[in-house]
């Protein structure tokens, strides 16, 4: 329980897309809501459309997609 709480808090505080300030919690929520490709997650959250063009966040999104799929 405490672990889940901390994880949820960390997810809110950790920015996956630094350019756009998109937290990990938003990426996870998008994946849960059916976004199952990098493009779909980017479209749903706006991640990847910042000044770096997704260079810094695309691999992190990919990792979360793999993790989420592995957890199903």
- Among 17, 31, 38, 64, the residue binding ligand FES under the rule CB under 6 A is 17
- Among 19, 27, 35, 38, the residue binding ligand FES under the rule CB under 6 A is 19
Neighbours of 15 (CB within 10 A): 18
Binding pattern to ligand FES, positions 30-59, x when CB under 6 A? -----------------xx-x-x-x-xx--
Per residue, what are the HEC states of 17-32? ECCCCEEHHHHHHHHH
* CA distance linking residue 66 with residue 2, whole number of Å: 25
In the complex, the residues that contact ligand FES under the rule CB under 6 A are: 17-20, 47-48, 50, 52, 54, 56-57
């Amino acid at each position: 329980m405490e672990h889940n709480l901390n994880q949820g808090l960390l997810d809110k505080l950790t920015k996956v897309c630094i350019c756009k300030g998109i937290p990990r919690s938003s990426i996870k929520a998008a994946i849960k809501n059916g976004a199952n490709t990098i493009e779909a997650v980017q479209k749903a959250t706006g991640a990847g459309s910042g000044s770096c063009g997704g260079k810094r966040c695309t691999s992190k999104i990919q990792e979360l997609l793999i993790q989420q799929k592995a957890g199903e």
